[in-house]
Amino acid sequence: MPNRSQSTFQTGKAKVFLVDDHPIVRQGLGLLINREPDLVVCGEAEDAPSALQRMASAQPDLMVIDISLDGPDGLELLKTIRLKEPILPVLILSMHEESTYAERSLRAGANGYIMKQEATERVLVAIRRILEGKVYLSERLTNKMLEQFVHGAGASNNNPLTTLSDRELEVYRLIGAGHGTRQIADELHVSVKTVESYQAHIKEKLSLRNARELLQHAIESSLSEKSAFGAAD
């Protein structure tokens, strides 16, 4: 009887573990969850190390993890958890714009993503959906993902950057390094118009709306090539 992740069948309540660096948020979520008949909080943690430590004895059916933690962030924690618990349901909670982190979260193995701006009931909806083995995303996000799946020939590439051509990727990296259109044109010995064209293609392939989002995406992606977080086993 190796897992009990299909929520209720023994205790009658699905056990939820909370990870957030804001005590107020933990308290709020805790009270919210505990007053549901089918859910109960089985543990809390304020950062990744203590979460990993306390999880062992708490035996949660589901994790709710905030992205912004001190030290290793929520995604790092998620990845570490995935090493030991490949199927434990995880809901990522964040105050950031979906567009920034949702995709990243799913790739890291999350079963759902929800913003703190959402109404509290949505959190319960998300939790139950995930406990049913489904994925929770906002409607807008779901559509975006589907579209990207269709456009991007899905299956093989989990990384949308692989759909970029060599030249496009080159430009993308330079943008992430903070270089401007003009500068990039000079560096690649092509016309500014050509670089603009690449940017347009990149934006299309990555479903970005304008140059700001492109710069944002490129910077974030260039920054996330770091840190590994020593495996905790």
Q: By CB under 7 A, tell whether 196 contacts DNA.
A: yes
Element (H, E) at 112: strand 112-115
Q: How far is the CB of 34 from a copy of itself (least distance, A)?
A: 11
Amino acid, res. 96: H
Backbone angles phi, psi at 14, to 5 degrees: -80, 135
Q: By CB under 7 A, tell whether 198 contacts DNA.
A: yes
Contact residues: a copy of itself, CB under 8 A: 21-29, 31-32, 68, 70-71, 95, 97, 116-120, 123, 177-178, 180, 210, 212-213, 215-216, 219-220, 223, 225-226
Q: Per-residue x/- marks for DNA, 160-189, CB under 7 A? A: ---x-xxxx-----------xxxx----x-
Selection from a copy of itself, DNA, none that 138 binds (CB < 5 to 8 A by kind) is none
> Taking the alpha carbons of 69, 72, 75, 79 in that order, is the dihedral positive or negative?
negative
Q: How far is the CB of 36 from DNA (least distance, A)?
A: 36
Sequence-distant (≥ 6) Cβ neighbours of residue 23 within 8 angstroms? 46
Other CB atoms within a 10 A radius of the CB of residue 74 amount to 28
DSSP assignment, residue 86? T
Name the residues that contact DNA, by CB under 7 A.
Answer: 163, 165-168, 180-183, 188, 190-194, 196-201, 203, 209-212, 214
